[in-house]
Every structure is written in C-alpha cells, then in structure tokens.
Amino acid sequence: MPFVEVAHLVKHFVRGAGLFRAGTRLAAVDDVSFSIEEGETFGLVGESGSGKTTTGRCMLRLVEPTSGDVRFRGANVLEFSKRRLREARRQMQIVFQDPYSSLNPRMRARQIVEEPLLIHKLGDRTTRRTRVAELVELVGLNPAHLDRFPHEFSGGQRQRIGLARALALNPSFVILDEPVSALDVSVQAQVVNLLMDLQQQLKLTYLFIAHDLRLVQHICGRVAVMYLGKIVELGPAAAIFAAPQHPYTRALLSAIPVPDPDAPRHRVVLDPSSVNRGAALKEVAAGHWAAI
C-alpha cells in the first residue's frame, strides 16, 4: 500500500459564469494519478498553469477536488467528514511559497508556531511552551526572537517559522509548495539543507512542488512533470533528467539556464502540435512513465 496515493484526481474551475451564462469549464487538474512512498521526496514540476499547486491543495482539501481519490495510508481523504479531516490534517501539512503573506502579521512568532497546538487542543500551557521551544530549535531560529512579529524577520527566517508551524503537530507528510522560490538566492540553500535535515531526522515524506528543476533534480527521488493539467512524464529523477521522453519535458529541461558560459546549449522548442494530449502514460523503462 503506497503511503499517499492520488488516483484520477480532477479539478474543474468554471470561468466567466453569470446568471444566464454557463461559463467555460477549465480542467486545472485533469485525471492525475501518482503515488508517494513513505520517506521519499516526490517532486511535482511544471510551469504556471500546469496544475501542480492545485493538485497539492486538492490533496489536503484546501481546494475541493471535482472527482478522484486521495488515499493517505489507505484511507480516502476525500470521503472524510470534517472532523475526520481535521484529525487527518495533523498528519498532513503544507508549507507555502511566500513567507511574506502566509504568516499572520499581527501574531508574534511564538503564537504562529503555537497556534496549531491550540486549534487541536494539544497539551497545556507548559507543554505547549516546551514544544514551541523544541520546534524553534529544530528549524534553527533564535529562541530569543520568539516575541517578534513576522516583519522583523528576514525571508529565510520567516520560512523557518512557517516550517516550525507545519511541524508543530508532528506530521508524517508535508507538502512543500515552492518553499524557497520567494527567498533570496543566497539563503535558498540554507532552507533546502534544513528541509533535507528535517526529513532525515523526523522521517518525513515530502511532496515537493517546484518550478526550479535544478533543485528538484537535487532533492527529489522521483518526479512527475505536469503540463496543462496532466502528468506527461513520471519516474526516477535521475532517469528523467538523463533521458526525458516527453517532448514537453525535453523542452523544459533544455530551457534551464546553466551557470557556465561554455556549457553546450541545445534548445528544444516545444511544438504544441507534437503533444498527443490523449496519450496515456506508458512505461518506457522500469518505473519511468511517459504519455507519448
């Protein structure tokens, strides 16, 4: 049984609907299936509009999917009652991209990290205080700064606060939605290292949503590439980066700017008509699937 299993997930958004107008249906996520094994970092990559963020949000039901299944340790999250869902969210957490807008500016760092414990009515005042201190140390923040407000922290420190909050309930599965892309280049590596350390230390399973392919290649074991709401290629990161099969993946990988002026450049431009939108994923090598 996979740790997390997404099957035939669909999310439609309706655009331009009015009183007398049906509007047009947009399939943001269009029949997406993949599974994540316990302890792995699974990468979901794609460009804006590919549906990667919506997929992540549907998995936690922050956005209600139109249809499909999301199984967490075998149980279908989409069938959960509100109460059961709240319980399940202790296990499944998300860290958002923008540490500037995802933290409440009126709360002190301590309150932000403590809030999930309060919502889930865990522990008393003293145990909560101890837990907050633990979390703060875990993510490498200075405990002396706990009474500060978000704006008094740098972007990297804010993302650490977001991470401490996500980890407060001791989840086993964390969705990281572009966790470093809003950070200064010189602090991205710190946060990436922290994420890798925490995964080892706490035995976390990650869904890593990102558009930075260099980073995905570095930290993900397996990767799914999304294009216009569908997964067009899925497999071990090493296989996909070494031998991409789908025309979109090839175009995407060839577009990554390499910081070496002498690196060979073979730009592959995607011809949208070369993409067979109806193609099903088929196994091109062991564990490596492509919709070609």
Partner 1 sequence: MSDADEPLLRVEHLTTVFDLPGGPVPAVDDVSFEIRAGETLGLVGESGSGKSVTAVSIMRLVQPPGRIAGGRLLFKGRDLLTLDERAMRGVRGADISLIFQEPMTALNPVFTIGDQIAEALRVHGRASRSEASAKAVELLEAVQIPDAASRVRDYPHQLSGGMRQRVLIAIALACRPALVMADEPTTALDVTIQAQILDLLRDMKSQFHLSLLLITHDLGVIAETADRVAVMYAGRIVETGPVRAILQDPLHPYTRGLLASIPGGAPGRRLKAIEGSVPSLGALPPGCAFAPRCPDRFEPCATQPPPDVAVGPDHQTRCYLYDRVPLKSDARPTDAVR
- The full 3-state SS of the chain, as one line of letters, equals CCCEEEEEEEEEEEECCECCECCEEEEEEEEEEEEECCCCEEEEECCCCCCHHHHHHHHCCCCCCCEEEEEECCEEHHHCCHHHHHHHCCCEEEECCCCCCCCCCCCCHHHHHHHHHHHCCCCCHHHHHHHHHHHHHHCCCCHHHCCCCHHHCCHHHHHHHHHHHHHCCCCCEEEEECCCCCCCHHHHHHHHHHHHHHHHHHCCEEEEEECCHHHHHHHCCEEEEEECCEEEEEEEHHHHHHCCCCHHHHHHHHCCCCCCCCCCCCCCCCCHHHCCCCCCCEEEECCEEECC
Among 62, 118, 202, 258, binds partner 1 (CB under 8 A): 258
Which one of 22-30, 85-93, 103-111, 211-219 is the stretch in contact with partner 1 (CB under 8 A)?
211-219
**Rounded least distance, CB 82 to partner 1, Å:** 37
From 18-26, 67-75, 164-172, 210-218, span contacting partner 1 (CB under 8 A): 210-218
Question: Binding to partner 1 by residue 48, rule CB under 8 A?
Answer: yes
Per rule CB under 8 A, is residue 53 in the interface with partner 1?
no
Strand partners for 207? 42, 175
Residue with tokens 């889930």: 120
Please tell me whether residue 255 binds partner 1 under the rule CB under 8 A. Answer: yes
190 is a site residue for partner 1 (CB under 8 A): yes
37 binds partner 1 (CB under 8 A): no
The strand pair at 41-45 and 222-227 is best described as parallel
**How many of the chain's residues bind partner 1 (CB under 8 A)?**
44
Which one of the spans 31-39, 125-133, 184-192, 278-286 is the region binding partner 1 (CB under 8 A)? Answer: 184-192
Decide if residue 188 touches partner 1 (CB under 8 A).
Answer: yes
Q: Considering the complex, what minimum distance in angstroms separates the CB of residue 217 from partner 1?
A: 7
90 lies in the site for partner 1, by CB under 8 A: no
Considering only residues 12, 61, 145, 218, which one is a binding residue for partner 1 as defined by CB under 8 A? 218
For partner 1, the binding residue among 267, 271, 273, 278 (CB under 8 A) is 267
Options 154, 170, 274, 276; binder of partner 1; rule CB under 8 A: 154
Among 25, 84, 86, 214, binds partner 1 (CB under 8 A): 214
Chain contacts with partner 1 (rule: CB under 8 A): 47-48, 154-157, 184-190, 192-193, 196-197, 211-215, 217-220, 237-238, 251-252, 254-263, 265, 267, 269-270
